[in-house]
Structure 1
Amino acid sequence: MNDWLTDTRDSYDTVAVDYADQTRELLDGLPHLRAALRLFAEEVRGPVADVGCGPGIITARLHELGVDAFGIDLSPAMIELARARHPGLRFEVGSMTEPLNVSVGGIIAWWSLIHVPDELVPAVLGHFREALRPNGLLQLGFHVGDRTNLKTQGYGGHPMRVHVHLRRPERVAQWLREAGFTVEAQWLLGEDGAVLFARRG
């Protein structure tokens, strides 16, 4: 496993419980993100993979919205928490850097692609496209900017070692087009966040 991938997995294993507790009600104060999620739920057809699902908060919210959603995450500790807190849903350990080996109508990846180095993003988007059925819907959420931060301390004050890549929406949109997606919408969330809607061509 690449060093960055090992660091990311180990970091989220370390902070899993505190991360889950601190983000449990995060969506309640973010109406624009809730709207993005509702729109995704209304438009998607078929099962949905929540890639980088963490403790399963978004997976569970999609289920509440009537979507057949399941979660995939790199961190075994996150998956263990997700299974414990949402026992009626399916969660599995996996990496977006490898083929997902599923056939789905939609993929949602909120603030999980942010740890993938630039040179690997096209391959990850290729895996997403392979997993999506024709006309399948993809929604990406990410930090906006032009830099990479090294996060060394995280939720609950635990040590972490993860690189957080901030990217411009137009750059992510170009990667999507090159991977065979049609970009349908770009939502800016204040000055530091964005959500992109794209569809498999």
Structure 2
Amino acid sequence: MKLIGMLDSPYVRRAAITLTLKGIPFEHLSLSLSVFRNFGEFQSINPLVKAPTLIGDEGWQMVDSSMIIDWAESVGTGASLMPSEPAARLRALRLLGLALTACEKSVQIVYEGKRDENHRDPAWLSRVQGQLTSAYAALEQEATGRNGWLIGETLTQADITVAVAWGFTQLMQPELIITARHPALAALSARAEQLPAFMALPPT
């Protein structure tokens, strides 16, 4: 089994960490989507050129980190990374929505920065930055006062995705989301990054 995509993508990294935690062996192929680097090679494997792409040993392909994670839950080993109790599951889904919004807005800002300066839209960029700030404000509120993980004492997919999102934003936009203003998220991410699955898959 192969997982294609750069680990500096939060979507690739959350999928890779989940596969590892669920005991599903895979080979990681670190191909970039950049037209100047591995675009042609990636396209020859998957014409969609979408990361992450998971390729099964039988030759099937799957894209989108949430789909890959859902599949991993159904075939992997160990306890589920998603709570089954309704109230806890609702909280996990809410947190995932916030974290994935943070990922999306961070990625949008990165790509806008790659555009020629004359073609950038300052008003749109300001709106996206506001959405990013709001997502992290909500996540900080949700994380404040939590002595364990975000949902009890057990690591869940919410913790994985929030920590990966935080790490990506700090890598790409540390000037927008200040660590000192988000101490609970910074602490959660630091704790997660000490886990073997996170350490084995750094965002390089």
TM norm structure 2:
0.31
Flag the structure with higher strand content. Answer: 1
Question: Relative contact order, CA 8 A, sep 6+: which one is greater?
Answer: 2
More helix by share: 2
Bigger CA radius of gyration = 2
